[in-house]
Chains A and B, each alone.
Chain A
Amino acid sequence: MKRETLLAIVGALALILCAWAIPWLKFVLTVALAKGIAVLGILLLLRAGQVSFGHAMFLAVGAYTVAFVAPSVPEVLLLLPLAALLATALGLVIGLFLVRYRDIFFGMLNLALSMVIYSLLEKMYAITHGTDGIRIAALTFAGVSLEREVQEWVMFGIALTLAIGFGLLVRAYLGSPMGRALAGIKTRETRLEFMGVSARLVLLFAYVLSALMGGVGGALVSMTTRHVTPQLAYWTSSGELVFIAILGGAGSALGPFLGATAFELVRVYAAAAVADAWQMILGGVLLLVILFAPGGVWGILSSKLKGRGA
């Protein structure tokens, strides 16, 4: 636990330092933190042995909530909870149906529903502007309109604060009876039932929490990029979240942030170096992680720190 806290503090300081030293990285790191928050939700489901191939739908709901409401209410402090609320509500409705399924059925039903949302966003041009997407106008923070540079810092600060907050929440949740029971869904669901516990309810709680974090992540992404398109809900975006979860490692609440930061940085630098082959580089990185470091970036770091501590 101490290792985890130390690494979190060092990581947060390193992010602030990078954002300060290389101003254009602020944008990349804010998006990484936002995606990290969404991937925390994937981590919860992975603990239950379930993989969602459609979780980007909750990011899209969060992002489009901001896009639709911002013209009338441009306040960040209102848009964020609203996006979280709508994503949570959708998570509850979908979750009530989805927690009846496991494994490939769970994964593919998530995928199918996310593609329904993608299609709606793409086809309902009059409302969503289809693949053109919606541009988000300038936002206010606590009623104050901010200059571009300040706004970037504010968004980075909010993303970092929320990342720490949700990281702590997920850590506490995973240590709680409900969080520990998630592993029961993975290994011994029958035992859960014979302990008088509804496995579906245990999974539903995790699913709704993951939808909430997906909505918050999506809202932060849209506030940072200032543009939303249906691509946010596309299956490749969901695949990206699972990719990040595996890259970062499911062993700790830090994993998603390590994974998201590594992912965004590799993407930015690989795209700059070899514009046509950056996906291949990312694919290669994932392959290496799966083959040689199944615990992800977190697994590598924690074993190195453990080795040093011993």
Chain B
Amino acid sequence: MSTPLLSAKGLRLAFGGVKAADGIDLDVMAGEFLAIIGPNGAGKTTFINMSTGYLRPQAGRIEFDGQPILGLQPRAIVRRGIGRSFQLPQLFTEHTVLENAALAVASRLGLWSPLAPLLRPAWREEAMDLLERFGLQGVAGSRADALNEGARKLADIAMAVALQPRLLLMDEPTSGVAAAEKMQIVETLVRVLRQSGVTAVFVEHDMDVVARFADRVAVWSQGRIAALGPPAQVLADPVVQRDVIGISAHA
């Protein structure tokens, strides 16, 4: 069996009496799409925060491509190839969507050129190309705070993809998006990520999305992984149906 791209072992983190991570063991294999499901407060976002250096676990270890990443700053982890998107899109609201994308491109290629314009031809072209792949070319000139939620989610993910990560952790990429738009957004981002060869872990509450797009599902419950496997098998499990999906659907 090949080395996992991301490997978490025995992660523990408690906030007061609440165990957000209570012995998490998870291997994410290169090329797979892994969905994380579970009720609110189960520790899903905490796992993403620990994997990206935003939170430090009290115990356990995390390796990326065989190298330990625990204790590194978020920006150092990003540079190693782990990207993330946010439940609440983190866009630079004063700038246009194109400038947002160009800033992400710039941060990969060298932000530290104080006198050359951000929208220099090469970066503008790459940023536009990125936005086209996400179907956002029509709103390239709009201010980021003028977008609807679906477009903001995609722009947020596009900025993470601009950094050319090998692993992308997405926190609820479809939350707050109108039901009619949801499938289209996931289809778009899955297509882009597959084309780019990016491995993905995503937190999701919509079981239709999980069933259709995930290669594996990890079920989070009270800081532990309660079940892990292919969607058809995990989602059909009566215990998961009763204890997780029933709650998650109402979350």
- Contact indicator B103/A184 (Cβ below 8 Å): yes
Q: B213 on the interface (CB 8 Å rule)?
A: no
Residues of chain A within 8 A of B157, CB atoms compared: none
Residue in A172, A188, A193 whose CB lies within 8 Å of B75: A193
Stretch at the interface among B110-118, B214-222, B236-244: B110-118
B116 contacts across to A, CB distance below 8 A? 176-177
Q: A190-223 vs B: 1/0 string, CB under 8 Å?
A: 1111111110001001000000000000000000
Contact status B111-A188, CB under 8 Å:
no
Give min CB distance, A207 to chain B, whole Å: 13
Give the residues in chain A near B114, CB-CB below 8 Å: 172-173, 176, 178-179, 205
User: In this assembly, does B205 line the interface, its C-beta being within 8 Å of a C-beta of chain A?
Assistant: no
> Given A175-B118, A176-B118, does the pair A191, B78 have CB atoms closer than 8 Å?
no
Whether a CB of chain A sits under 8 angstroms from the CB of B210 is no
* A282 CB contacts on chain B under 8 angstroms: none
B92 with A183: CB separation less than 8 A? yes
**Is the CB of B212 closer than 8 A to any CB of chain A?**
no
- Total residues of chain A contacting the partner, CB 8 A: 26
- Size of chain B's interface in residues, with CB distance under 8 A? 34
Please indicate the chain B residues that have their CB under 8 angstroms from the CB of A175 in the complex: 117-118
Main secondary structure of the interface of A (DSSP, over half): helix
Interface flag for B3 (CB, 8 Å): no
- Establish whether residues B95 and A180, one from each chain, have CB atoms under 8 Å apart when the complex forms: yes
Contact check, A177 vs B118: say whether CB atoms are below 8 A apart.
yes
Least CB distance from B161 to A in Å reads 12
Q: When each residue 125-164 of chain B gets 1 if its CB lies under 8 Å from chain A and 0 otherwise, what string results?
A: 0000000000000000000000000000000000110010
User: What's the least CB distance linking B69 to chain A, in Å?
Assistant: 14
Asked if A187 is at the interface (CB within 8 A of a chain B CB), the reply is yes
- B-contact 0/1 string along A148-186, CB 8 Å cutoff: 000000000000000000000100110111111101101
Max count, chain B CB within 10 A of own CB: residue among A177, A181, A193: A177
A194-B111 contact given A175-B118, A188-B92, CB 8 Å threshold = no
A197 lies within 8 A of B75 (CB): yes
| Complex Cα gap A184–B113 (Å) | 17
B75:A178 contact, CB within 8 angstroms: no
Residues A177 and B106 in contact, CB atoms below 8 Å apart:
yes
Q: What residues on B are CB-neighbors of A179 within 8 Å? A: 114, 118
The listed residue (A173, A190, A198) touching B90 by CB distance below 8 A is A190
Q: Is B99 a contact partner of A193 (Cβ separation < 8 A)? A: no
CB nearest to B90 among chain A residues = A191
Partner of A194, one of B74, B92, B112, B117: B74
A176/B91 contact (C-beta < 8 A), A193-B74, A194-B52, A195-B78 known: no
| Shortest Cβ distance from residue B139 to the other chain A in the assembled complex, whole angstroms | 18
B90 in contact with A177 (CB, 8 Å): no
- Chain A residue numbers with a CB within 8 Å of B99 are 180
A199–B248 Cα distance when bound, in Å, is 36
Give the CA-CA distance A197 to B109 in the complex, in Å.
Answer: 11
A196 B78 Cβ-Cβ under 8 A: yes
Instruction: Give the residues in chain B near A181, CB-CB below 8 Å.
Output: 103, 111
Instruction: A191 to B74: give the CA distance in the assembly, Å.
Output: 10
Contacting residues of chain B (67-82) with chain A, CB-CB under 8 angstroms: 73-76, 78-79
State how many angstroms separate the Cβ of A224 from the closest Cβ of chain B: 29
B110 to chain A, nearest CB (A): 8
Q: Which 8 A-B pairs have the closest CB atoms?
A: A191-B90, A177-B106, A195-B107, A196-B78, A196-B75, A177-B111, A183-B94, A172-B115
The 25 listed contacts between A and B (C-beta, < 8 Å) are A172-B114, A172-B117, A176-B113, A176-B115, A176-B116, A177-B103, A177-B107, A177-B113, A177-B118, A179-B114, A184-B103, A186-B94, A187-B93, A187-B94, A188-B93, A191-B90, A192-B107, A193-B73, A194-B52, A194-B78, A195-B159, A195-B163, A196-B75, A196-B76, A196-B79
Q: A177-B113, A193-B75 are in contact. List 20 more A-B contacts (CB 8 A).
A: A172-B114, A172-B117, A175-B117, A178-B111, A179-B114, A179-B118, A181-B103, A181-B111, A188-B92, A188-B93, A190-B86, A191-B92, A193-B74, A194-B52, A194-B75, A194-B84, A194-B160, A195-B163, A196-B78, A197-B107
